[in-house]
Amino acid sequence: MLELHRRTMSQSTEIVSLIKDEQWELPTPCTEWNLRQLVEHMILDNRGFAAAAQGEVIDRSVWLLREFDPGLRVEYARSADDVVTAFRTPVASFWLPRINDAITFPAAQAIGFHLLDYLVHGWDVAAAIGYPVAFDEDLIEAVQAIGDREVLNGPNRLRPNASFRPALLPKPGESKQDYLLRTLGRSPSWPD
C-alpha cells in the first residue's frame, strides 16, 4: 500500500502545482471549500497524518489552520513529501482527531484513509482547474476496496461537514474511476 500511496501523493503534488494564481478562489467538488481552502485542508491533513505516523497523540495544533509561506503549491509539495516519509516507518496506531479523537487506528487502516482521501482530493483539484486526470487502474482498484470497506453509504453522509456525500447511481459502461467517484458522492462530470 505504501507504493500506491507514494504514487498518489506524487500525482496530487503534480496536480496542485498546475494551479494558477488566479484560480485559488474557484469552486471545487467539495462544495464547502474553494480551491484555496481545499488545498489548505490537504496540507493540514498531510501534516496531521505525518505527526500521527510519528506517534503524536496529544498536540492538536498540527491539525489547525495557519498561514503558509512561501505559498500553497510549495507548502503542499513539502507536506506531501513529509507524509510519504513518515509513512515509511509509522508507529503501530495513529491518533486522528479529525476522524475520532477518542480512539486510535491501526497504521494500515489510517494509511488507507489517507490514500483514499488524497486520490479523491487530487481529482477534486483537477476538476476545479479543468485538468483531465486519469489515475492508474491499480490505484483505483485499491481505493475502491478501501472505500467499500471504510466509507459506508448512509445517513452519516447527509450530516454537515460529512467527508463524502451520498453515493450517486452508477452508469452502464462507465470507467472504474468514474464508478469510484460516484460511490464517494462525486459526479465525474462536475460541475454538471
Please name the helix (run of DSSP H) or strand (run of DSSP E) that holds residue 44, with its range, or none: helix 35-53
Which pLDDT belongs to residue 92? Answer: 93
pLDDT band, residue 119 (cuts 50/70/90): very high
94 pairs with which residues across the strands?
A: 105
For helices 2-17 and 137-150, angle between their N-to-C axes, nearest 10 degrees: 110
> pTM to 2 decimals?
0.92
Which of 42, 38, 20 minimizes the C-alpha distance to 29? 38
Tens digit of pLDDT for each residue in 69-118? 668 999 999 999 999 999 999 999 998 877 787 888 899 999 999 999 99
Tens digit of pLDDT for each residue in 127-179? 999 999 999 999 999 999 999 998 888 787 788 777 788 889 999 999 999 99
Q: Is the distance from CB of 11 to CB of 3 less than 8 angstroms?
A: no
pLDDT band, residue 64 (cuts 50/70/90): confident
Residues 122 and 115: their CA atoms lie apart, in Å, by: 10
Which pLDDT belongs to residue 68? Answer: 67
CATH number 1.20.120.450 is the correct assignment for the domain at 2-139:
yes
Tens digit of pLDDT for each residue in 8-54? 999 999 999 999 999 999 999 998 899 999 999 999 999 999 999 99
Domain ranges in the chain?
2-139
Span 122-129, average pLDDT: 98
